[in-house]
Structure 1
Amino acid sequence: MTSGAEVLRAEDWDQWYGLLELAFGGVPAAPEERELYRRLTEPERSLAVWDEAEVVGTAGAFTFRVSVPGGRPAAAAGVTMVGVAPTHRRRSVLTTMMRRQLDDVRARGEALAVLTASEPEIYGRFGYGLASLRLSAEIDTALVRLTVPAGTEEVTLRRAEPRAALGVCEELYGRQVAGRPGMLARAAPGWEELGVLDPPSGREGASPLQCVLAERDGEVVGYTRYRTRPAWASGVPDGSVVVQDLEAPDPAVYAALLRYLCGIDLMRTVKLPNRPVDDAWQYLVSDLRRCEPRLRDELQVRLVEVGAALRQRSYRAPLDVVFEVSDAFCPWNEGRWRLSADAGGAACERTGAGPDLALSVRELGAAYLGGVPLSGLAAAGRVRELRRGALAQASTAFGSDVAPWLPHGF
């Protein structure tokens, strides 16, 4: 008989993490990765379900701050390491952990929970909504030209050892966080090492991680981290550059780094596996079709406390709207909420006034970072307009000038 979800004891971490590896296919993590996540794990925020002496369920949370529209970092639980033993599926183990976890998040005063899902359909029933997408591409550098902006020639590039450059790269990343919703402020010690984690078993035939810094007037202003994967086809170079990170504060720096990546000898393709949906490469290339752009789901957002969450962000246009919110899993969010907001901030309180829009907490989570329009959710039948004009007003106000983006998993 299984237990309830219990807080993880530090001495049980190895068994706990071993169950997670089993749930994700049974392949052990590289020793470097395993030790990093041992250090990053917050045992007091990690849950285990036991069947006698065996761990059969795992769930954890990292203490994060995530950028929201308006550039304000908001406290959020980064839900992670969720797994159920294959012998214990369909026995409410996951529901038990999600119940305990959201109760704990609320008790900590965090209004948001975020996650990435290995199987996206799972988490909607717990109130999570898909809030950001990732764009991937494979640029055929033999057939695609770049048109770069003025100032690109003023940027110089130099190679650096990834770990030696970690400090300056982390500083540059930190400057970018406030400018794009969905990015994580990596404040806790150890998270910076995720960017240079490079176990040979994870390279899939590619080189060790490489780093190039962009400089202007003697100052480091951008960087890229990548791997090269040599290949030949009928005696012709057919290698690929797999880009892990590309951080740049302005168009010239971005273009200089992208041009470098597209010009590496013996490489035919530049692979960008995770970029924002509004990323600049799309507007620099001569032929978008030969870049094979693709979208996939990324960050899911759950409003744990509706009122507090909606107060934590700003809005693109003035708004005064009453939401009728349904939330079967966290019933404390049920009911009517009046949101009065503008670019300076927001007030959101319970109200007895008549509703303007009806939706579930899942739709609010999807729209929260500004990348999913409420009007699109309404077109899918997931938001109902009860006052004419309210949908257009709310959809505009919730929008973001830049697309939300999660640069890396957790």
Structure 2
Amino acid sequence: MATEHGTGPRVLRPEEWDRWYENLVRAFGGGPGSPEERELDRSLTEFDRTLAVWDGDVCVGTAGAFGFRMTVPGGALVPAAGVTMVSVAATHRRRGVLTSMMRRQLDDVRGWGEPLAVLTASEPAIYGRFGYGAATYRLGAEIDTSRVTLARPAGTDDVRLRYAAPADVLDECEAVYAALVPRRPGMLARQPGWERVGLNDPESRRGGASPLQCVLAERDGAVTGYARYRTRLGWGASGHDGTVTLEELAALDPASDAALWGFLCGIDLMSTLTVRGRPVDDAWQYLVSDIRRCRPTLRDDCHLRLVDVGAALQARTYQAPVDVVLEVEDAFCPWNTGRWRLSGDTKGASCGRTEEAADLALSVRELGTAYLGGVSLLSLARAGLVRELRPGALAEASVAFGSPVAPWLPHGF
């Protein structure tokens, strides 16, 4: 496919990466970044999964797709293309560049046999027309630690905390993260090289705060959790007014989790704990003495698309028995359009083409929104986005598609 001006998307060559990257940085309004960040981005680039659009020798469009595996309800790890680094030069907007890249990319993802595509959207309005729906949300907070206390569940006093240099305990932290991956839909298994992302600590990212710090939680001699964070000292008319910014926290049990949160809320000379990108059901919300003084915020995070409806629906389990025929509309990937019979329960599922009468009608975008169990089909129906064609089918499917644990994307890409 050719765009209005220039050639259509093609796979990026390694020798073209610098020009490709410069177009990407310009499109996102950023500076050149640190040499360390640039080197990390290049090392993670999967060239055979990365696209560029050229107008002559000028790069005017970029898009990539990392080869991830994502946890789905039931705990299975499913291949998912992590769509990333999508940009169009401001000189070439509204010329079909983005559509051509999305078309080529989804064709490629289908050819790779990956049933899901996921992304985080700088502008959420862009991707709905390509079939992506907001499937996970992330929680933020500004916790007034000078006025908020945390309860301490049983076993918290048995947790030992110790400081450690982040790079020195990377393996221990990664082991904790890996153990948590199958427990929550939306989590990504770390691909080789991605463990470096959590240690990326250029001074340009600190905003006047300290270098990255780390504290470990231990029980019976084993590492059971960790927190990576920064501190920024501040002083006001009333005295100290410092801020702790949490970068990452993971824990294997409630006591270790509570001990880490208690530590972050009790650091000397700090009066605010800034939290970003946490699960919407994060346990700290139920331990704090005053949730209002935590100023929680919510925003969309992972946008998900079913590239292969049958394979995707069959890959997960369902928390209640379900036997339903879905009438799916997918204008951008027409191979998904039609009726699919889904039968499943907590042990597994099957999904295939059928000529039977449909029970529910929806677009692939709504199916992606509901896929990880964080948004109910019933809620989408109340918005007029899902139609019930057989009485009772909506309630049955809505319960089955749910997840007892909120889906969460642990980091961007």
**Paired letter, 1:192:** E
| Counterpart residue number, 2:368 | 365
| Counterpart residue number, 1:24 | 28
| Counterpart residue number, 2:399 | 396
| Counterpart residue number, 1:66 | 70
1:153 is aligned, of 134, 142, 157, to 157
- Cα displacement string for residues 324-365 of structure 1 (whole angstroms, at most 9, x for unaligned residues): 000000000000000000001100010000000000000010
Q: In structure 2, what is the Cα distance between the partners aligned to 1:245 and 1:30?
A: 22
Q: In structure 2, what is the Cα distance between the partners aligned to 1:250 and 1:395?
A: 30
Instruction: Kindly state the Cα deviation for residue 217 of structure 1 after the two structures are TM-superposed.
Output: 1.1
| Counterpart residue number, 1:406 | 409
| Counterpart residue number, 1:255 | 258
Instruction: Kindly state the Cα deviation for residue 26 of structure 1 after the two structures are TM-superposed.
Output: 3.7
| Counterpart residue number, 1:33 | 37
Q: In structure 1, what is the Cα distance between the partners aligned to 2:351 and 2:33?
A: 44
Q: In structure 2, what is the Cα distance between the partners aligned to 1:289 and 1:278?
A: 16
Give unpaired runs (5+ residues) of structure 2.
none
Q: In structure 2, what is the Cα distance between the partners aligned to 1:235 and 1:350?
A: 68
Aligned-pair Cα RMSD in Å: 0.7
Q: In structure 2, what is the Cα distance between the partners aligned to 1:209 and 1:144?
A: 24
**Paired letter, 2:194:** W
Question: Are 2:223 and 1:220 equivalent residues in the alignment?
Answer: yes
SS where residue 122 of structure 1 aligns? helix
Instruction: Kindly state the Cα deviation for residue 229 of structure 1 after the two structures are TM-superposed.
Output: 1.1
Aligned residue runs from structure 1 range 28-177, under 5 A: 28-177=32-181
**Paired letter, 1:224:** A
Q: In structure 2, what is the Cα distance between the partners aligned to 1:351 and 1:232?
A: 67
Q: In structure 2, what is the Cα distance between the partners aligned to 1:84 and 1:231?
A: 40
Q: In structure 2, what is the Cα distance between the partners aligned to 1:34 and 1:72?
A: 33
Instruction: Kindly state the Cα deviation for residue 274 of structure 1 after the two structures are TM-superposed.
Output: 1.2
| Counterpart residue number, 1:193 | 196
Identity of aligned residues (%): 67
SS where residue 205 of structure 1 aligns? coil
- Cα displacement string for residues 159-197 of structure 1 (whole angstroms, at most 9, x for unaligned residues): 0000011111011100000000001001x3210000110
Q: In structure 2, what is the Cα distance between the partners aligned to 1:251 and 1:92?
A: 50
Aligned residue runs from structure 1 range 254-403, under 5 A: 254-403=257-406
| Counterpart residue number, 1:178 | 182
Instruction: Kindly state the Cα deviation for residue 29 of structure 1 after the two structures are TM-superposed.
Output: 2.1
Change (3 A) 1:26 1:197: closer
**Paired letter, 1:409:** G
Question: Are 2:268 and 1:243 equivalent residues in the alignment?
Answer: no
Instruction: Kindly state the Cα deviation for residue 235 of structure 1 after the two structures are TM-superposed.
Output: 5.0
**Paired letter, 1:311:** Q
Q: In structure 2, what is the Cα distance between the partners aligned to 1:240 and 1:91?
A: 45
Question: Are 2:10 and 1:6 equivalent residues in the alignment?
Answer: yes
The list of structure 1 runs, each at least 4 consecutive aligned residues, that deviate by more than 2 angstroms after superposition, is none
TM-score by length of 1: 0.99
Q: In structure 1, what is the Cα distance between the partners aligned to 2:279 and 2:194?
A: 21
Q: In structure 2, what is the Cα distance between the partners aligned to 1:119 and 1:258?
A: 32
**Paired letter, 2:55:** D
